[in-house]
Amino acid sequence: MRINQQLKLVVALSIVIVFFIFTTILVPINSDSWQYSFFALTMVVVVTLNVGAAVFQGGLFGLSAQFPSKYLSAVLSGQALGAVFACLCSEGVAKLRHLKTVQRFTYDHMAAAVNSALVYFTLADITLLISMVAFLWMTKTAFYQFYTSSHGTSSGKEGATITTALSGKKPSINVWKVFLKIKWYALSVCLVFVVTLAMFPAITAKIRPMYTGTKEHPSIWARDYFVPVCCFLLFNLTDYLGRIAGGYTVWPKKHHWYFVLLLVALRVVFVPLFMYCHIDHKNLTTVFNHDAYYIIFMTFFGLSNGYLATLCMIYGPG
């Protein structure tokens, strides 16, 4: 039995919203007297949230496949923009902590951690609620209803329609045959994320600035901002820009799958490039002994991730 796509998305997002609000309520509660029960409850919440998020994400990609392929770029760009927003929130909270420390206010680190978590979860709750309202509004638009109706679906070119069979039955789909048609783009997008996840953030977050100041006057930039800005914010921002560019620029062309695969394979070069930066490991030699190298590598790393992943995702179903 096939579940209605819109209903599936609404239910999945509702589950995520409910459990995020529940988690927000738990943040200020002292759990010292019931640690084991709190841990078990947390695991249940985490599993449920991940299941809900996975169903929603899968359903969203399935829904976007009903539209012309260029609109898939909006879904991918939205994911990257969410990561940029999270990084900016993290930097904002870090800045507030620094100001309180400099101004010598009474600073309780435990209370600060609780307040930070409360701010993060509250922002997440608000964002999720806005997303729900936006999605429900979108389902009422004529554009959405046309492409999701049984009378019109995308064929890769906006405005094109495909009528269903006269019998009213939808033709069966052989998943294996579909996979064989997109196998090179499926392999390409897999390799893009293999290289990205192999380096970010496990390795890239361990790279340290060359100048850290002195013992008496440590560099605030090196201590508090280098990794959050040059690693997390820079990657997510360039990834976002790459995904936007991928939605507007169609190069290499769709039938040049071998060129796309070559560009994806060339991203493996980022592995040694990052490994020879000033990484926090005594057994590795620093070859690129200036922070500018790391920033340049991270910029192209993020841009190539967003651009190539978007091309593969657009060319595949298109």
Other CB atoms within 10 Å distance of the CB of residue 308: 26
String of DSSP letters for 144-199? HHHHHSTT----SSTT---PPPTTSPPPP--HHHHHHHSHHHHHHHHHHHHHHHHH
The pLDDT of residue 152 is: 52
pTM: 0.80
What is the pLDDT at residue 191?
95
Q: How far is Cα 243 from Cα 225, in angstroms, rounded to an integer?
A: 25
Measured N-to-C along each axis, helices 5-26 and 35-64 cross at an angle, to the nearest 10 degrees, of 150
Residues composing the chain: 318
CA distance 295 to 3: 46
- pLDDT on residue 166: 45
Return the C-alpha torsion angle 191, 193, 197, 200, nearest 10: 110
Q: What is the mean pLDDT of each successive set of 10 residues along the chain, which is 318 residues long?
A: 78 95 91 89 95 92 83 86 87 68 53 78 92 92 84 45 47 74 88 94 91 75 85 94 86 83 95 91 85 96 94 78
Residues 6+ apart with CB under 8 A from 8: 55, 59
* CA dist 235 → 205, 220, 257, 290 (Å): 11, 21, 26, 18
pLDDT at 120: 85
Q: State the greatest distance between any 2 C-alpha atoms of the chain, in Å, as a whole number.
A: 81
Q: Where are the domains of the chain?
A: 173-318
